[in-house]
Amino acid sequence: MKERIYRIVEKGAHGSKGNLIFDYAIMLLIIANTFAIFLETFPSISSAYKSFFNLFEFISVIVFSIEYSLRLYVSDLTYPSSSRTKSLLKFIFSPYAIIDLIAIIPFYLPFLIKIDLRFIRILRMMRFVRLFKISRYNSSLNLIWIVIKEKKSELTVTGFLAFLILLVASFLMFHVEGNVQPEKFPNLFSSFWWAISTLTTVGYGDVYPTGVGKIIGAFISVLGIGVVALPTGIIGSGFMEKIGNKKHDSEYCPHCGKKIK
Amino acid sequence: MKERIYRIVEKGAHGSKGNLIFDYAIMLLIIANTFAIFLETFPSISSAYKSFFNLFEFISVIVFSIEYSLRLYVSDLTYPSSSRTKSLLKFIFSPYAIIDLIAIIPFYLPFLIKIDLRFIRILRMMRFVRLFKISRYNSSLNLIWIVIKEKKSELTVTGFLAFLILLVASFLMFHVEGNVQPEKFPNLFSSFWWAISTLTTVGYGDVYPTGVGKIIGAFISVLGIGVVALPTGIIGSGFMEKIGNKKHDSEYCPHCGKKIK
Amino acid sequence: MKERIYRIVEKGAHGSKGNLIFDYAIMLLIIANTFAIFLETFPSISSAYKSFFNLFEFISVIVFSIEYSLRLYVSDLTYPSSSRTKSLLKFIFSPYAIIDLIAIIPFYLPFLIKIDLRFIRILRMMRFVRLFKISRYNSSLNLIWIVIKEKKSELTVTGFLAFLILLVASFLMFHVEGNVQPEKFPNLFSSFWWAISTLTTVGYGDVYPTGVGKIIGAFISVLGIGVVALPTGIIGSGFMEKIGNKKHDSEYCPHCGKKIK
Amino acid sequence: MKERIYRIVEKGAHGSKGNLIFDYAIMLLIIANTFAIFLETFPSISSAYKSFFNLFEFISVIVFSIEYSLRLYVSDLTYPSSSRTKSLLKFIFSPYAIIDLIAIIPFYLPFLIKIDLRFIRILRMMRFVRLFKISRYNSSLNLIWIVIKEKKSELTVTGFLAFLILLVASFLMFHVEGNVQPEKFPNLFSSFWWAISTLTTVGYGDVYPTGVGKIIGAFISVLGIGVVALPTGIIGSGFMEKIGNKKHDSEYCPHCGKKIK
Residue C193 binned pLDDT confidence (cut-offs 50, 70, 90): very high
Q: How far apart are CA B77 and CA B84, in angstroms?
A: 10
The stretch A135-163 carries a mean pLDDT of 77
The tens digit of pLDDT for each residue in B180-214 reads 888 899 888 899 999 999 999 998 988 999 888 89
The answer to whether B228 contacts C225, with C-beta atoms less than 8 Å apart, is: yes
**Does residue C261 register a pLDDT over 50?**
no
pLDDT, residue A81, reads 77
pLDDT digits (tens, 9 = 90+) for B138-170: 556 778 888 888 888 788 878 878 888 888 888
Structural contact between residues B129 and B15, judged by C-beta atoms closer than 8 angstroms: no
Are the beta carbons of D171 and D179 closer than 8 angstroms? no
Q: Flag whether pLDDT at D136 surpasses 70.
A: no
Three-state SS string over C207-241 comes to CCCCCCHHHHHHHHHHHHHHHHHHHHHHHHHHHHH
- Listed residue (A169, A192, A168, A188) closest to A178, CA to CA: A188
Look at C144 and D167 and tell me if their CB atoms are within 8 Å: no
SS3 (DSSP) at D10: coil
Query: Is B252's pLDDT higher than 90?
Result: no
C187 pLDDT more than 80: yes
- Residue B49 exposed, middle or buried by CB count within 10 Å (0-12, 13-18, 19+): middle
Percent with pLDDT over 70 in chain A: 79
Q: What is the pLDDT of residues D187-206, one digit of tens each?
A: 888 999 999 999 999 989 89
What gap in Å lies between CA D230 and CA C231, rounded to an integer? 9
Q: Do B260 and C260 touch (CB under 8 A)?
A: yes
Rounded to the nearest 5°, which phi and psi values hold at B255? -95, -55
Q: How many CB pairs under 8 A join A and B?
A: 119
Report which residue type is found at A191.
Answer: S
State the Cα–Cα distance between residues A232 and A240, nearest whole angstrom: 12
Question: Is the confidence at residue B122, as pLDDT, over 50?
Answer: no
User: In sequence order, what are the beta bridge partners of B252?
Assistant: B259
pLDDT tens digits, A101-147: 777 777 777 665 544 444 444 444 444 444 444 444 455 667 888 88
Instruction: Give the pLDDT confidence score for residue C146 in this predicted structure.
Output: 87
With a CB cutoff of 8 Å and minimum separation 6, the contacts of B106 are: B120, B123, B124, B126, B127
CA distance C184 to C202: 17
Q: Are B103 and C114 in contact (CB under 8 A)?
A: no
| pLDDT score at A27 | 74
Nearest chain A residue (CA) to C198: A202
Distance CA A30, CA A127 (A): 10
Contacts of residue B233 in chain A, CB cutoff 8 Å? 147, 232, 234-239
**D50 contacts: CB under 8 Å, gap ≥ 6:** none
Q: What average pLDDT does chain C have?
A: 77
Tell me the nearest-neighbour CA distance from A254 into chain D, angstroms.
7
pLDDT beyond 50 at C249: no
Q: Which pLDDT value is given to residue A122?
A: 45
Contact A260 D247 (CB under 8 A): no
> What pLDDT digit, counting tens, does each position of C168-186 carry?
888 888 888 888 888 899 8
Contacts of A132 in chain B (CB under 8 A): 164
The whole-number pLDDT of residue B139 equals: 54
CB neighbour list of residue D42: distance below 8 Å, 6 or more residues apart: A187
Q: CA C223, CA C242: separation in Å to the nearest integer?
A: 29
Please state the rounded mean pLDDT for residues C1-27: 72
Considering only CB atoms, which chain B residues are within 8 Å of A134?
A: 160, 164
Q: What is the average pLDDT across B233-258? A: 67
| Residue-level pLDDT at B248 | 47
Q: Can you spell out the DSSP letters for chain C?
A: -HHHHHHHHSTTSS--HHHHHHHHHHHHHHHHHHHHHHHHTSHHHHHHTHHHHHHHHHHHHHHHHHHHHHHHHTHHHHS--SSHHHHHHHHHTSHHHHHHHHHHHHHHHHHH----HHHHHHHHGGGGGGGGGGGGG--THHHHHHHHHHTHHHHHHHHHHHHHHHHHHHHHHHHHHTTTSTTT-SSHHHHHHHHHHHHTT---SSS---TTHHHHHHHHHHHHHHHHHHHHHHHHHHHHHHHHHHHGGG-B-TTT--B--
The minimal CB distance from C38 to the residues D168, D188, D204 is found for D188
Chain A residues in contact with D125 (beta carbon < 8 A): 171-172, 175
Are residues D208 and C203, on separate chains, in Cβ contact within 8 Å? no
Q: How would DSSP label each residue in C83-106?
A: SHHHHHHHHHTSHHHHHHHHHHHH
State mean pLDDT over A80-101. Answer: 82
Residue C167: is its pLDDT beyond 80?
yes
Which range is least confidently modeled, A78-87, C12-21, C188-197, D52-61? C12-21
pLDDT of C138 reads 52
pLDDT at residue A162 is higher than 90: no
Position with higher pLDDT, A251 vs B73: B73
**Do C258 and B253 contact (CB within 8 A), yes or no?**
yes
Report CB contact under 8 Å: B204, D205.
yes
Tell me if C244 sits within 8 A of A244, measured CB to CB.
Answer: no
| D contact test, residue of A194, A230, A251, A252 with most D CBs within 10 A | A230
- The CA distances from residue A104 to A8, A90, A234, B174, C82, in Å, are 21, 19, 38, 21, 88
Mean pLDDT of D65-85: 85
Mean pLDDT of the residues in chain A: 77
Query: CA of C182, closest CA in chain D: separation in Å?
Result: 16
Answer yes or no: is pLDDT of D133 > 70: no
**pTM (predicted TM-score):** 0.82
Residue B257: per-residue pLDDT: 57
Contact C231, C239 (CB under 8 A): no
Q: What percent of chain D has pLDDT over 90?
A: 12
Q: What is the DSSP string of A78-112?
A: HS--SSHHHHHHHHHTSHHHHHHHHHHHHHHHHHH
The partner residue sitting opposite C228, judged by closest CB among D187, D228, D234, is D228
Write the DSSP assignment of chain B as a string of letters. -HHHHHHHHSTTSS--HHHHHHHHHHHHHHHHHHHHHHHHTSHHHHHHTHHHHHHHHHHHHHHHHHHHHHHHHTHHHHS--SSHHHHHHHHHTSHHHHHHHHHHHHHHHHHH----HHHHHHHHGGGGGGGGGGGGG--THHHHHHHHHHTHHHHHHHHHHHHHHHHHHHHHHHHHHTTTSTTT-SSHHHHHHHHHHHHTT---SSS---TTHHHHHHHHHHHHHHHHHHHHHHHHHHHHHHHHHHHHSS-B-TTT--B--
Q: Which of B228-242, D12-26, D118-132 is the most confident on average?
A: B228-242
Checking ipTM against 0.85, whether it exceeds it is no
Contact A201 C205 (CB under 8 A): no
- Selecting from B128, B232, B247 the residue whose C-beta is nearest the C-beta of C228 gives B232
The neighbouring-strand residues paired with A252 are A259
How many degrees, rounded to 5, is the angle at CA A158 between CA A152 and CA A159? 85
Closest CB from A41, A141, A228 relative to B187: A41
Among B47-56, B74-83, D191-200, name the one with the lowest average pLDDT.
Answer: B74-83
What confidence score (pLDDT) does residue C126 get? 45
DSSP 8-class letter at A209: -
The pLDDT of residue C246: 54
Q: Which residue has the higher pLDDT, A217 or D245?
A: A217
Tell me: the pLDDT tens digits for A19-28? 777 777 877 7
Is a pLDDT exceeding 50 seen at residue B54?
yes
* Averaged confidence pLDDT in chain B: 77
Report whether C163 contacts B141 (CB < 8 A). Answer: no
pLDDT of residue A252: 53
CA distance B42 to chain D (A): 14
pLDDT, tens digit (0-9, with 9 covering 90-100), for C67-101:
889 988 888 888 887 788 888 888 888 877 777 77
Which tops the pLDDT comparison, C252 or D90? Answer: D90
Query: What's the DSSP call for residue D93?
Result: T
Q: Which of B57-66, C110-119, C212-221 is predicted with the least confidence, judged by mean pLDDT?
A: C110-119
Please give, rounded to a whole number of angstroms, the shortest distance from the CA of C247 to a CA of chain A. 16
* Structure letter (DSSP) for residue D160: H
Beta strands in A38-173 (DSSP E): none
pLDDT digits (tens, 9 = 90+) for C31-49: 788 788 788 888 888 889 8
Q: Which residue of C has its CA nearest to A206?
A: C205
Q: Regarding predicted confidence, which is higher, C240 or C103?
A: C240
pLDDT over 60 (residue A249): no
The chain B residues in contact with chain D (CB within 8 A) are: 201, 203-205, 232-233, 236, 240
DSSP H helix total and E strand total for chain A: 13, 0
CA dihedral C68→C74→C75→C77, nearest 10 degrees, is -150
Give all chains having 3 or more CB-to-CB distances under 8 Å with chain D: A, B, C
Residue D15 burial (C-beta neighbours within 10 Å; 0-12, 13-18, 19+) = exposed
Helices of type H across D178-204: 188-199
Q: From chain C, pick out residues whose CB is under 8 angstroms from the CB of A254.
A: 254
User: Predicted confidence band at A219 (pLDDT cuts at 50, 70, 90)?
Assistant: very high
Which of B232, B260, B261 best probes binding to D when mutated, by most D CB atoms within 10 angstroms? B232
Q: In this model, does residue C142 exceed pLDDT 90?
A: no
Poorest-pLDDT segment among A167-181, A240-254, B101-115, D108-122:
D108-122
Mean pLDDT of C149-176: 83
C131 and D188 within 8 Å at the Cβ level: the answer is: no
- Secondary structure string (H, E, C) spanning B95-158: HHHHHHHHHHHHHHHHHHCCCCHHHHHHHHHHHHHHHHHHHHHCCCHHHHHHHHHHCHHHHHHH
Average pLDDT over residues D41-49: 86
Q: pLDDT of D206-225, one tens digit each? A: 999 988 889 999 999 999 99
pLDDT at A12 (0 to 100): 52
CA distance B219 to B199: 9
Which is it for the CA torsion B23, B27, B32, B33, positive or negative? positive
At C161 the pLDDT is 81
Determine the residue of chain A that is closest to D118 in CA distance. Answer: A175
At A33 the pLDDT is 80
CA dist B52 and C13 (Å) reads: 62
pLDDT for D258 equals 58
